[in-house]
Chains A and B, each alone.
Chain A
Amino acid sequence: MGQIHLKNVSKDFGNVTVIPPLDLDIENGEFVVFVGPSGCGKSTLLRLIAGLEDVSGGQVLIDSNDVTSLPPAKRRLAMVFQSYALYPHMSVRKNIAFPLKMAKIPPDEQNQRVEDAARILNLTDYLERRPGQLSGGQRQRVAIGRAIVREPGAFLFDEPLSNLDAALRVGMRLEIAELHQRLNTTMIYVTHDQVEAMTMADKIVVLQNGMIEQVGTPLELYRTPSNRFVAGFIGSPRMNFIIGEEATRHNAECIGIRPEHIEVVKSDGAWQGIVGVSEHLGSDTFFQVNVLGFADTLTVRAGGEVDLKYGDTINLTPNLNNLHRFDRQGQRIS
């Protein structure tokens, strides 16, 4: 129930190859996040799995059945859209019941299942309202409700939180993670926000230009990014990349070090630099530091109460265990 395998799946729009052939295995009950910059093909990949786009080559297998030529409705998948895609002329009850109505399930059972879904999602008081009378978060929950009543093999989420404000987004993030724990159904979640990916995923798939850059658990990607792209994309603030002499000293074309792996020391640091702009977040402070001999400024994390001002000279020591080395092609040197 909810194993999805992509074999050599590719997608062309006319002459443009959006997704070169790729393989991907998604196990039952996994929470998989597709993450990547805009236009990396992550939504297209999701739509290929959903069946809303036809593949140009390869096979989509769900529970070992070839569903490549099946229409979306027959794949037993439910999708939550970025725009929610609620039916504006139907009440919340009718919206949630729509998939059941289409499946010709008797009205009594329809009602029962709608009530159950509404209870899980705290929508019971809103069942008779129209989508237009709901807030963004409530609409999102209706869209999720419409997905869960069908008891699908897997849920597909297409950037479901990007239309919500920041506070609501954190709340919904938790609700979706909670829902996954409760239902234990495979979920595939598309986002461009690496924080969402890190916090929710069992497995992250990082995509760039339609190609899979790396697949792994959030911590695997954080600890051992397989190339510069993944290294730069995962982690916030992003990893510092240093090229030139310093990199050569470590036998690499480029070295990377995360802001949290650089220590500010009183004296005898490996690097010396001048403090630039700083961002105080309370718990942490992020400094931009101009290190002598480096082309770019470094971002350095320090404690929240640290007393450094613009223009101060400081010493820095990188934690060499967490230094990432990359070759000329940007691949990791282990």
Chain B
Amino acid sequence: MISPSVLLLLGWMLVPLCMTLYFSTLRYNLIVPSDNPFVGWENYYWFVTDPSFKAAMFNTLLLVGGVLCITVVGGILFALLLDQPMWGQGLIRIMVISPFFVMPTVSGLVWKNMFMNPVNGIFGHVAQALNLAPVEFFSQIPLLSIILIVSWQWLPFATLILLTALQSLDRDQLEAAEMDGAKSLSRFIYIMIPHLARAITVVILIQTIFLLSIFAEILVTTNGGPGVATTNLTYLIYVSSLLQFDVGMGSAGGVIAIILANIVAIFLMRLIGKNLDA
């Protein structure tokens, strides 16, 4: 028997999903009032053949991949560092984790105005002090700037998960490896990394799902520009539906995003399933 809560959850999920599927097959633009005729795959066709779609897919991939690389590698390094006994350990750990509590819009604005602004930002001041030309982050390296901001936000999450995993590593194993003649790099490669593999998989899975839908950081910093340099799939859907008022096109983009996210999810679930079996 299906309990009422399952029905409620199913409805919660299915109603918007079906609405989106339905809208994606209509010619439905709010600026052009008409009787919203059924057009089949037309919205999908125009969405996919739009030159900015290709760029958006590419940017999404770069954004997700870049942030994953930085957070996983950085997270492992931070976890190793925080695992060392040091003075003020508790306070330092809280401070390292705190960026995760800053909401995306705020952190986007803080980075835009206080760090990356070529005139007022800290990086600009440092560059001037060194007699260098300040980098104009959002016009010269826009996507990299977004990747840096998002990485800063997600690094604490990766660090936290990996630190916990590292702390669950049996000290005896490290000592046994030391007795067996493993130098610190070998101990890291042969003992720590395999031990962290599961935690790394979890970090990648969870982060990918959230990183596919990065939006606020882009909206408050670059607005997807210059041109389409920082437009990802989420932002493209926003442009279609809320800037061009094309509900049909936006819905078609949404459906594509759903399919994409599910492909990633299936891959990662299989990966994690394999990892958990062993």
Residues of A within 8 A of B (CB): 50, 52, 71-73, 77-79, 81-90, 98-99, 102-103, 130, 146, 150
- CA–CA, A50 and B176, complex, Å: 11
B173 — which chain A residues lie within 8 A by C-beta?
85-87
Query: What are 9 A-B residue pairs whose CB atoms fall within 8 Å in the complex?
Result: A50-B179, A52-B175, A52-B178, A73-B181, A73-B182, A85-B172, A85-B175, A87-B191, A102-B186
A98 — which chain B residues lie within 8 A by C-beta?
177, 180, 182, 190
Pick the 5 closest A-B CB pairs, nearest first: A85-B172, A85-B176, A73-B181, A99-B180, A89-B194
B170 within 8 A of A: yes
Q: When the two chains form their complex, are residues B190 and A87 in contact, meaning their CB atoms are under 8 A apart?
A: yes
Residue among B177, B179, B195, B197 having the largest count of chain A Cβ atoms under 10 Å: B179
Contact with A along B179-213 (1 / 0, CB 8 A): 11111001000110011010000000000000000
Residue among B175, B180, B183, B190 having the largest count of chain A Cβ atoms under 10 Å: B180
Contact with A along B14-33 (1 / 0, CB 8 A): 00000000000000000000
A81 — which chain B residues lie within 8 A by C-beta?
172, 175-176
Which residues of B in the span 15-69 have a Cβ within 8 Å of any Cβ on A?
A: none
- CA–CA, A105 and B197, complex, Å: 27
Taking the nearest CB of chain A, how far is it from the CB of B239, in angstroms? 46
A71 — which chain B residues lie within 8 A by C-beta?
178
Which residue of chain A lies nearest to B195 when distances are taken between CB atoms in the complex? A89
Interface of B is mostly: helix
Q: Report, as a range, how many residues of chain B touch the other chain.
A: 10 to 19
Known: A81-B176, A146-B180. 8 other contacts (CB 8 A): A71-B178, A79-B176, A81-B175, A85-B176, A87-B190, A89-B197, A98-B182, A130-B278
Interface of A is mostly: loop
A73 — which chain B residues lie within 8 A by C-beta?
178-183
Taking the nearest CB of chain A, how far is it from the CB of B43, in angstroms? 49
- CA–CA, A103 and B186, complex, Å: 11
B182 — which chain A residues lie within 8 A by C-beta?
73, 98, 102
CB-contact partner of A77 in B176, B179, B186, B278, under 8 A: B179
Contact with A along B104-129 (1 / 0, CB 8 A): 00000000000000000000000000
Q: When the two chains form their complex, are residues A99 and B175 in contact, meaning their CB atoms are under 8 A apart?
A: no
B172 — which chain A residues lie within 8 A by C-beta?
81-85
Q: When the two chains form their complex, are residues A150 and B180 in contact, meaning their CB atoms are under 8 A apart?
A: yes
B183 — which chain A residues lie within 8 A by C-beta?
73, 102
